[in-house]
Amino acid sequence: MQNHDVDQAQMALPIMRITLGWLYFSAMLRRVWNVPAKMNPSSPLYVGGKLITFIPHSLYIRGILQYTLLHPTLLFDFLVVWTILEGVFGLFMMLGFMSRLSGLVIALLAWGIGLGAGWIGTTCLDEWQIAAVEGAAALVFAFAGSKWLSIDQLLIKKYPKGLKIGRWSIPLW
Amino acid sequence: MQKFVALLIIGLIIATGYTFVTYQYFFAGFTNLHNYSKTPAYVLNGSKVFTNGTVVLQIARVDGPDTYGGFIVLLQLIYQNGTTIYQWNAEQLGSIPQSHIHNEYPLHPVKSDKFALVVPLGQNASVMLQVPFKLKPGIYTLRAYDVDGQDSAYGISFSVTVQAQQS
């Protein structure tokens, strides 16, 4: 009976997985495919400028934001890395590939951006709501994985204890 | 299994802690709810007035929408007895050469746009201005007005009081 309950809970997870993954995968798409100027430092659309708007009420990370903004090369590298992480782990989350690792990475991305942007939102508490719910949702996957309608369901049959490196088993799915 | 439950409870505490702590820090939702994105606010601390008429406006935009504005359309220089010695109107503030504006961060610079002095959120700039006559020694107040007519928001006054420096 207990196993049956767990299975049903697992079967509900793809509903969240696709949307959560898309929120991150599409963030990469908007910058790389829809509007590439967002990643062009000399364009007024450059997303690097968003970091300035975080500064006034950011929590814990003000010094990092200020240092990064004063070093344009570092800022660009940071945006490239961030965008790749969003695109890759957003896609992984949608596909259900390494769901537990993807959940952890997405939770850190959500909470990280939330420390800066969390106070912004002209209509509602927009950015805070996004960061809080995405972080919590992603952390669910870090613990539960996703064992249905996922690539992980194939991996878990073959490697039920996760990725084996020597005597260690890392539960990536 | 016990290890999993222990980790799960730590995760629960972290997720819930993040949600509640940031809710209070960003919006004071458990005490005195506010939203600093609604309307622009400016801090003028660090501005300088010189007796030769040079005024260095140090302006930081600390509140308001991230995508738009804010727009300074009036700047007053007020002497200690309350008289307005000089004021810069929207046309003057809208035509300050970029070489007279020093921005702290290279992106989203403070600039004149013909209609106002535009101060993007998070930027901090010093703006060189000149009163066309010499100033008496004494204490001066610089006061800025946003295009919505406000000279204060969230308890922050868009003004600063400074002693005129010899030049």
Q: Is residue B25 domain-shared with residue B93, that is, in the same domain?
A: no
Q: What are B47's two structure tokens?
A: 């501005």
Q: Answer yes or no: do B26 and A125 touch at CB < 8 A.
A: yes
Q: What's the pTM?
A: 0.92
Mean pLDDT, chain A, rounded, equals 94
**Looking at the predicted structure, is the pLDDT value of residue A4 above 80?**
no
- pLDDT in the model for residue A171: 86
Domain residues for the domain of B107 are: 41-163
**How far apart are the CA of B19 and the nearest CA of chain A, in angstroms?**
5
Q: Is residue B45 domain-shared with residue B24, that is, in the same domain?
A: no
- pLDDT in the model for residue B145: 98
The more confident residue out of A170 and B49 is B49
Q: Is residue B9 domain-shared with residue B63, that is, in the same domain?
A: no
Q: Is residue B45 domain-shared with residue B27, that is, in the same domain?
A: no
**Looking at the predicted structure, is the pLDDT value of residue A5 above 80?**
no
Q: Is residue B73 domain-shared with residue B95, that is, in the same domain?
A: yes
Q: Is residue B100 domain-shared with residue B20, that is, in the same domain?
A: no
Q: Is residue B48 domain-shared with residue B88, that is, in the same domain?
A: yes
- Mean pLDDT, residues A66-83 taken together: 97
Q: Write the CATH number for B140.
A: 2.60.40.1930
- A131 at the B interface (CB within 8 A)? yes
Q: Is residue B28 domain-shared with residue B46, that is, in the same domain?
A: no
- Mean pLDDT, residues A119-128 taken together: 95
- Mean pLDDT, residues A57-74 taken together: 97
Closest CA to B63 of A45, A55, A68, A128: A55
Q: Is residue B26 domain-shared with residue B48, that is, in the same domain?
A: no
Q: Is residue B3 domain-shared with residue B49, that is, in the same domain?
A: no
**Looking at the predicted structure, is the pLDDT value of residue A132 above 50?**
yes
Per-residue pLDDT of chain B (167 residues; tens, 9 = 90+): 789 999 999 999 999 999 999 999 999 999 999 999 999 999 999 999 999 999 999 999 999 999 998 999 999 999 999 999 999 999 999 999 999 999 999 999 999 999 999 999 999 999 999 999 999 999 999 999 999 999 999 999 999 999 999 97
- pLDDT in the model for residue A169: 84
- Mean pLDDT, residues A48-74 taken together: 97
Q: Answer yes or no: do A118 and B63 touch at CB < 8 A.
A: no
**How far apart are the CA of B53 and the nearest CA of chain A, in angstroms?**
31
Closest CA to B141 of B82, B96, B90: B82
CA distance B110 to B59: 9
CA distance to A92, B17, B53, B160, per residue, from A139 (Å): 15, 13, 59, 47
Q: Answer yes or no: do B18 and A120 touch at CB < 8 A.
A: no
- Mean pLDDT, residues A30-41 taken together: 97
- pLDDT in the model for residue A1: 43
Name which of B19, B25, B107 is nearest A49 (Cβ-Cβ).
B107
Q: Answer yes or no: do B63 and A139 touch at CB < 8 A.
A: no
Q: Is residue B77 domain-shared with residue B152, that is, in the same domain?
A: yes
- A53 at the B interface (CB within 8 A)? yes
- pLDDT in the model for residue A140: 97
Closest CA to B104 of A87, A88, A120, A65: A65
**How far apart are the CA of A99 and the nearest CA of chain B, in angstroms?**
16
**How far apart are the CA of B138 and the nearest CA of chain A, in angstroms?**
32
CB atoms within 10 A of CB A9: 12
Check: complex ipTM more than 0.95:
no
In percent, how much of chain A has pLDDT > 90?
A: 84
Closest CA to A142 of A105, A111, A96: A105
Report how many domains make up chain B: 2
Residues of chain B with C-beta less than 8 angstroms from the C-beta of A57: 26, 36, 62
Q: Is residue B131 domain-shared with residue B100, that is, in the same domain?
A: yes
Q: Answer yes or no: do B36 and A57 touch at CB < 8 A.
A: yes
